[in-house]
């Protein structure tokens, strides 16, 4: 049986109760954490975080645990829902703080500013006296004449430039500027999935719901006794790297599209089991074939997947 670490004293009661419930389920099953990770399809390091209340457990992981241990899924789901509400409130508080600290964008100029007001903020124009209307009409006609003249001159210059000339004066028209279309977020995501594409970069794949059944290994390489893999989630449009059979101090890195994220097997990892593992945060990538995973062992040996 695993020797559980003491949970923090400041932990919310609902989260504490749920975490202790998960621990009891595993204790009664006779499975180790590594076996639970293998049978549920979620990373060993992720289960370590769930069982020590460092990360919220996705609903899919809880359902998988109930299935492999023969636990009543409704009872476990009820505990999960109460704890998840606490995690959700905590996440919303962080998001509100981020929004409060962000730049609110352009502001309406002060009354004494020289800048013209925006259309929304501009007051309705007062009705002018007949004499004022006449003077305004003259000014508008004069301005329209200037604008018209400028347009004629500009058109003439464009025609001359398009016509070109013989010899060294001939110049090619510049290529049109293209802008890559933005990555659009789907209107709806599967239950438990919390990010897609660039929103996933730098985030934990398990906490964001991108792991488990939504992830596949698309490339692997051996570095000593350790296995290095590229894990990809098509739903989240993101990839990460995982190292298993590793030792404390071993490092794994994922690279894709100029972005790079790393993780290291922590010192003091559970050496009572055969495998220790670690996985990196995610990087946005449409295809897992565009990502590469590299492992560097504590003894200096290193290797990468083929891509």
- CB contact burial 6-40 (16+ within 10 A = b; e otherwise): eeeeeebebbbebbebbbebbeebebbbbebbeeb
pLDDT at 190: 86
pLDDT, tens digit, 9 for 90 and up, residues 254-265: 999 889 999 999
Are residues 76 and 21 in contact, defined by beta-carbon separation less than 8 angstroms?
A: yes
**Spatial CA neighbour of 21 closest among 49, 46, 1, 51:** 51
pLDDT-derived band of residue 306, with 50, 70 and 90 as boundaries? confident
Which superfamily, per CATH, for 1-99? lambda repressor-like DNA-binding domains (1.10.260.40)
CB atoms within 10 A of CB 53: 21
pLDDT at 212: 86
pLDDT, tens digit, 9 for 90 and up, residues 73-130: 888 888 898 888 888 765 545 444 444 545 444 444 444 444 444 444 444 444 444 4
For the chain, give every domain's residue range: 1-99, 193-307
pLDDT, tens digit, 9 for 90 and up, residues 194-248: 999 999 999 999 999 998 888 999 999 999 999 999 999 999 999 999 998 899 9
pLDDT, tens digit, 9 for 90 and up, residues 21-55: 999 999 998 888 998 998 888 888 899 889 998 88
**Is the pTM above the cut of 0.85?**
no
Q: Does position 150 have pLDDT exceeding 80, yes or no? A: no
Pairing of β 292-296 and β 238-244: unpaired
Q: Does position 181 have pLDDT exceeding 70, yes or no? A: no
Are residues 208 and 200 in contact, defined by beta-carbon separation less than 8 angstroms?
A: yes
pLDDT at 210: 94
Determine the Cα–Cα distance for residues 303 and 215; give it in Å rounded to an integer. Answer: 23
């Amino acid at each position: 049986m695993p020797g559980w670490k003491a949970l923090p004293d400041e932990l919310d009661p609902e989260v504490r109760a749920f975490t202790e419930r998960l621990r009891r389920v595993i204790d009664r099953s006779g499975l180790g954490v590594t076996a639970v990770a293998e049978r549920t399809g979620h990373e060993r390091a992720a289960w370590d975080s769930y069982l020590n209340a460092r990360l919220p457990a996705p609903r899919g992981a809880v359902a998988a645990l109930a299935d492999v241990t023969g636990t009543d899924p409704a009872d476990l789901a009820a505990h999960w829902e109460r704890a998840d509400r606490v995690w959700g409130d905590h996440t919303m508080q962080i998001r509100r703080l981020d929004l409060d600290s962000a730049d609110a964008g352009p502001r309406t100029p002060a009354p004494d500013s020289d800048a013209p007001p925006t259309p929304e903020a501009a007051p309705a124009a007062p009705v002018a006296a007949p004499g004022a209307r006449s003077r305004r009409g003259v000014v508008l006609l004069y301005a329209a004449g200037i604008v018209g003249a400028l347009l004629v001159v500009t058109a003439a210059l464009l025609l001359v430039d398009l016509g070109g000339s013989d010899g060294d004066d001939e110049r090619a028209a510049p290529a049109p500027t293209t802008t890559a279309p933005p990555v659009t977020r789907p209107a709806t995501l599967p239950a438990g999935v919390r990010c897609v594409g660039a929103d996933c970069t730098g985030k934990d794949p398990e906490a964001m719901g991108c792991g488990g059944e939504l992830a596949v290994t698309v490339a692997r390489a051996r570095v000593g006794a350790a296995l290095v893999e590229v894990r990809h989630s098509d739903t989240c449009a993101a990839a990460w790297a995982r190292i298993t059979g590793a030792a404390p101090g071993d490092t794994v890195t994922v690279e894709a599209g100029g972005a790079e994220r790393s993780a290291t097997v922590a010192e003091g990892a559970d050496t009572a089991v055969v495998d220790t593992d670690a996985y990196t945060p995610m990087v946005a990538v449409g295809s897992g074939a565009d990502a590469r995973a590299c492992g560097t062992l504590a003894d200096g040996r290193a290797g990468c997947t083929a891509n």
